Structure 1
Amino acid sequence: MKKILLATAAIVAFSAPSFAAETAKTIGQAPPSFYLAQDTATLKCQIVETQPAAGSSMKVVGAAHVTKASAETALKADKTCAK
């Protein structure tokens, strides 16, 4: 009887984490992101939808923006971009 009780307790202890709640998974595409990308040669900025690759002539200025309108507002407020 004692062995059965210990075996049952061990099974419950090891299987309990598998019943833990999982985080919600998104289905489909990730939400769109807009980036301010600055050309390192001309210092002009533009809004792009994909993050520039490392080592390219473009660099990201600031953080990603969820909407294009917020990216445009950030572009107008940014002082490092040439006009």
Structure 2
Amino acid sequence: MKKILLATVTLLAFAAPSFAAESGKTVGAASSFYLVQDTGTMKCQIVETQPAAGGTTKLIGTAHPTKAAAETALKADKACTN
């Protein structure tokens, strides 16, 4: 009985770090920020979800890892009329 208990405790001691939260990510935080343009008004905005194909908005560029990077891209984009 002691051998089984010792084996279980040892197994859990080695497996516990694999249950830890992912490093570098905050729970509930958006993983990407997107710059989208309304095709009717030509105004751009930053959103946290990728726009669906065929909608009234189009994706400008690629996904940005931070909101600050998306804001920089918004200021630099000449197609946006903000």
Provide the TM-score with structure 1 as the length reference: 0.63
Q: Kindly tell me the number of residue pairs found equivalent between the two proteins.
A: 58
- Name stretches of at least 5 consecutive residues in structure 2 with no aligned partner: 1-21
- Name stretches of at least 5 consecutive residues in structure 1 with no aligned partner: 1-26
The offset of 1:50, in angstroms, is 0.4
Alignment of 1:24-63 (within 5 A): 32-63=31-62
SS of 2:68's equivalent in the other structure is: helix
CA distance in 2, matches of 1:68, 1:33: 8
User: What is the CA RMSD across the aligned residues, in angstroms?
Assistant: 2.2
| 1:34-61 deviation line (CA, Å, top 9, x unaligned) | 0001000000000000000001001100
Provide the TM-score with structure 2 as the length reference: 0.63
1:50 maps to amino acid: T
SS of 1:51's equivalent in the other structure is: coil
Give the corresponding residue for 2:11.
none
- The sequence identity of aligned pairs, in percent, is 67
Give the corresponding residue for 2:73.
74
| 1:4-46 deviation line (CA, Å, top 9, x unaligned) | xxxxxxxxxxxxxxxxxxxxxxx6x8x7110001000000000
SS of 2:75's equivalent in the other structure is: helix
2:47 maps to amino acid: V
Give every structure 1 segment of 4 or more consecutive aligned residues whose post-TM-superposition deviation is greater than 4 Å. Answer: none
The offset of 1:78, in angstroms, is 0.4
CA distance in 2, matches of 1:43, 1:32: 26
